[in-house]
Structure 1
Amino acid sequence: MAIIHRDNRYHLSHLNSFDWRYTAKASGKRPERAYKFRVTFSMHCFARKPLPGEQIAKEMWYRGPRERRAFCFERYRLSHRLPTIIRSLGERTCYRTAHGNFLTVELTDEEGERIEYEIYFDVTRASRRGWLNLTVQSAYRRTRDDEVRRLGKRKIRRKIHLDVIAYNRQLNTMIRPKR
């Protein structure tokens, strides 16, 4: 699949789903655990909601199964990093959100510029025995507007590690917030 704009092709093959195995190292009383994930990416990783009144060229629309969104050059450019970032989730700090999904933040872009690239994902049990689904729901650069909009919503995010997420999802148990 590709988006074609002004004779340029923007391929989406870097966001093809893939299988990933992650081993959580033993820690304290916890034994080493191995997990198998089927990783998928939503269109929100490279497309955005249009701004009010914004005119979008016909070829810049991307239609998904439930909605259509405008292709976003910045999200597309940053999305090339997603497979590598996801494969490093076990070493990253993740946060729980108020919506029940999870978040990790990448802090630099490929030019070394400091940015905040928010990556929202969820983990669910797969129909394949012993497997989990890891769906990257959205990924975008945090802007000043995002910070201002969130000031009124000040939600405390709790740190959580991927092995805790995977373990609980595999057992189909609720992940309770720490008190």
Structure 2
Amino acid sequence: MTKWPPFLYREQVYDLSHLDGFTCEYLKPAQDGKPAVTYRVFVHFGHHCFTEKKKPGDDPALEYRHVTNRDYRSFDTLRYELSRQLPALVRDLMGRKCFHTGHGNSFTIEVTSREGEQVEYEVYFKPYKEQGSRQLRLIVESAFPRDADRLENRPRTKPVKFEFLLYNTQMNRPVKVQR
């Protein structure tokens, strides 16, 4: 499981342990004579949940280097603050509307308050099955507040249930995008 070390910026420590990997069990209740199903999923969070693309003029001390893929980005305090909600949001995915992107991943939108202000928070994730195994994993690839530059990200597909994404992943079936 992924363990995130803290990030130090100007003598302030940003604890990232809330994004350490964990195991989550999702229950699909019994329905229409079919038994209940429990999906046991290992959850991981990517560094795009607390970093953003580097821009000219960014403080070099904000540079965050991801060791596994050499993706150099800037630590983002707003993404970091919002990321504290991610573990609870992920545990609650069975009750959420999810939208397929057409690029192999999906997203959900959380409307949250940041200091009294409503923010649309986009969370991109991808369920997958470990090769040669029945073990399911979920990577939360990115999470960020929707702003004027990202308005084109508004859902253009019909929502799907998270349980449908898990079932299709478990059965090695593709998810068809429904417009």
- Which residues of 2 match residues 107-122 of structure 1 at below 5 A? 107-109=111-113, 111-122=115-126
Deviations 1:118-148 (A, max 9, x none): 000000002584321100000000001211x
1:11 pairs with 2:15: yes
Instruction: For 2:65, give the aligned amino acid.
Output: R
CA RMSD of aligned residues (A): 2.0
1:171 alignment partner in structure 2: 171
1:155–1:141 Cα change, 3 Å: closer
Which segment is superposed worse, 60-69 or 15-24?
A: 60-69
1:55 pairs with 2:35: no
Structure 2 portions without partners, runs of 5+: none
Of residues 56, 67, 74 in structure 2, which corresponds to 1:70?
A: 74
1:130 alignment partner in structure 2: 134
Find the residue that maps to 2:156 and give its secondary structure: coil
Query: Residues of 2 paired with 1:104 and 1:155: CA distance?
Result: 9
- Which residues of 2 match residues 24-173 of structure 1 at below 5 A? 24-28=28-32, 30-51=34-55, 53-57=56-60, 59-64=61-66, 65-66=68-69, 67-109=71-113, 111-127=115-131, 129-147=133-151, 150=152, 156-173=156-173
Query: Residues of 2 paired with 1:128 and 1:14: CA distance?
Result: 29
TM-score (normalizing by structure 2): 0.88
Query: Residues of 1 paired with 2:54 and 2:177: CA distance?
Result: 35
TM-score (normalizing by structure 1): 0.88
Query: Residues of 2 paired with 1:142 and 1:155: CA distance?
Result: 12
Report the Cα offset of residue 114 of structure 1.
1.5
Query: Residues of 2 paired with 1:3 and 1:128: CA distance?
Result: 35
Percentage of pairs with the same residue: 34
